[in-house]
Amino acid sequence: MMFDWSRLYVFSVLLTCVSACASGPEDAQSGPSGSNVNSVGRRLPEDAAPLSRQVFRQSLVEPSTLDVGIALFDAQFIAFLFEQLVVFDEDLELKPAAAESWSVSEDKTTWTFKMRPGGKWSDGRPVTAHDFEWSFQRLINPESGNIFAYFYYPIKGARAFNIGENNDPSTVGVRAVDDMTLQIETEEPCSFLPYVLAFFTSVPAPRWQVEKFGPKWSELGNNVSNSSWRLNTWDKGAGMSFALNDQYNGPFKGYLERLDFKFVLPGWQGLPSYENNEFDKIGVAGPDFQRARLDPALSKELITFPNFGTIYTMFQTTKPPFNNLKLRQAIAHAIDRNAICNIVMGGGATPAYGMLPKGFPAYQVERLKAFQEFDPVLARALLAEAGYPGGKGLATLELSVRGAPPSPDEWNVVAAVQEMLKEHLNINVELRQQTTMVFNERMRNHSIPWGFLWFNMDYPDPSDMIAVPWRSQPTGSGRQDWSNLEFDTLVDSAAQEFDEDRRIGMYQDAEEILARESAGVFLYNLVNATLNKPWLKGLEPNKYGDRRWSGLTPSYAMYYIGDNKP
């Protein structure tokens, strides 16, 4: 799945926001045990500000819907409003959420989820296994238009239902045994199914509201949620807020009393507003990032951590000239990734030598580096072995770039690649801008000879970043025509392997094939950066040493406003 940096920032920020109580801050002051206990009974840390000041302020591009299950992008990733069966915590580990436990059958094809007792929707109705059965059928239904429906193809009957081979939703292998028990049957053993179930779209929708209000079910007055949060206000064109859901009995209750979003336009740069204390947190990139790094005051409020996405180039490997392995390898070794990251990107990126980014499960840079590291002498030798000594005999190469125009950073990077290949290999490269629609259509048809693109994580497991973009697919599917039987066998076997060490090892072996065969030339991983006011608390590092907005938890349970806020 692909989305741009601005969407990735929204995705990351919104995964850590927390919101307010239904009664409002003033009423919350008289909480169950005094002013240091919030409106849903959670005791605040000793250094927390009073409840009336437990409000978190954030920017947001206005969503057109909050139906995240079938329209995640249109909903601007506001996935925290609904709770999946399982979720990721700040250490990227699976934790119970709407389900209190889960197990898999001996043959590894039937998963059983036990619902959390006492779970309720914000209107007081119980959350049941039937809600999830109906909701999964809905998000797989082709009429829903859910672009992530393919994620659920491991579920028995899901692909046939989604592509129209079968129009009976009851054939999809998701069944409520009773109110408290949900069973999911897969076509074959699928070790990563729980990761898919923690994805943002794997959420329930309130059937009674959807059937009553249709597309307007998620709007103010109609919206019913099952997480720690409920929609509180929605002032079209101005902003929206979320409040704590007093019906929620789960493990991810928040400290904060309200989350206030102010609507901004795409591409908005928020540094002036942040310095004016209008927001508690903003994302920064480009010139704002550089300024924050160098500013004595702002640098103390700057947090950086790896972006779980990879920027790379891919090839059409079944046709000349890129069916020539030596040529692909020469290009890989002729690109100075350190210069791209530190000079072109101004420190806003880290070098990539494989598909998995730093900090991602199964990351193994030292094993891969030799296959793609900058080595112009080796690059020239490989080019000669390819039959093009000194670049002689090689026609001008065309590098397609998605976006017309692409972002300034992306254009600067491809221009740098163009110069490096000319300098080190005497290869001429022509840059070709294409609209996203045209680029994606050509990519699906495997008709881009050489393309610059990115892949951002959908869930933190190598089954996503290794298998989804690189497992060979027929024309009309996937991203490129590269095919390797050993690679396909490894990722297919890993999908059915339940021994974690062996499974991870298979994906690492597969990633080595990607790097060694130069299936792609891996360039860099962006560095996410946020400015955070000193009074925003709960930004503790996870086990990887990253303060990544409380990881992927939808509760943002660690955030609160400190008593040092002026």
Q: How far apart are CA 381 and CA 417, in angstroms?
A: 19
8 Å CB contact between 475 and 168: no
Count of all residues that appear for the chain in the document: 566
Q: How far apart are CA 223 and CA 409, in angstroms?
A: 39
* pLDDT per residue as tens, the chain (566 positions): 333 333 333 344 433 333 333 233 333 333 333 468 999 999 999 999 999 999 999 999 999 999 999 999 999 989 899 999 999 887 888 999 999 999 999 999 999 999 999 999 999 999 999 999 999 999 999 999 999 999 999 999 999 999 999 999 999 999 999 999 999 999 999 999 999 999 999 999 999 999 999 999 999 999 999 999 999 999 999 999 999 999 999 999 989 999 999 999 988 889 999 999 999 999 998 889 999 999 999 999 999 888 899 999 999 999 999 999 999 999 999 999 999 999 999 888 999 999 999 888 999 999 999 999 999 999 999 999 999 999 999 999 999 999 888 888 999 999 999 999 999 999 999 999 999 999 999 999 999 999 999 999 989 999 999 999 999 999 988 899 999 999 999 999 999 999 999 999 999 999 999 999 999 999 999 988 999 999 999 888 777 767 654 444 445 778 899 999 88
CB atoms within 10 A of CB 3: 17
The C-alpha angle with vertex 73 and arms to 434 and 97, in degrees rounded to 5, equals 140
Domains 5-244 and 309-526 share a fold: no
Q: What CATH number should be reported for the domain whose range is 5-244? A: 3.90.76.10
Neighbouring-strand partners of residue 401: 433, 452
Taking domain 309-526, whether its CATH number is 3.10.105.10 is answered by: yes
129's tokens: 């296994």
Q: How far apart are CA 521 and CA 331, in angstroms?
A: 8
SS3 per-residue string spanning 101-116: EEEECCCCCEEEEEEC
Q: Cα–Cα distances in Å, from 366 out to 39, 259, 373, 504?
A: 50, 42, 10, 16
Q: Cα–Cα distances in Å, from 408 out to 163, 314, 403, 431?
A: 38, 21, 11, 14
Q: How far apart are CA 134 and CA 121, in angstroms?
A: 15
Nearest Cα to Cα of residue 525 among 303, 302, 360: 360
- Across the beta sheet with 110-115, the strand order is 99-104, 110-115, 181-185, 174-178
Q: Which amino acid is at 492?
A: D
Break the chain into its structural domains and give their ranges: 5-244, 309-526
Q: How far apart are CA 463 and CA 262, in angstroms?
A: 36
Q: Cα–Cα distances in Å, from 493 out to 417, 498, 566?
A: 36, 10, 57
Q: How many helices (H) and strands (E) does the chain have?
A: 18, 20
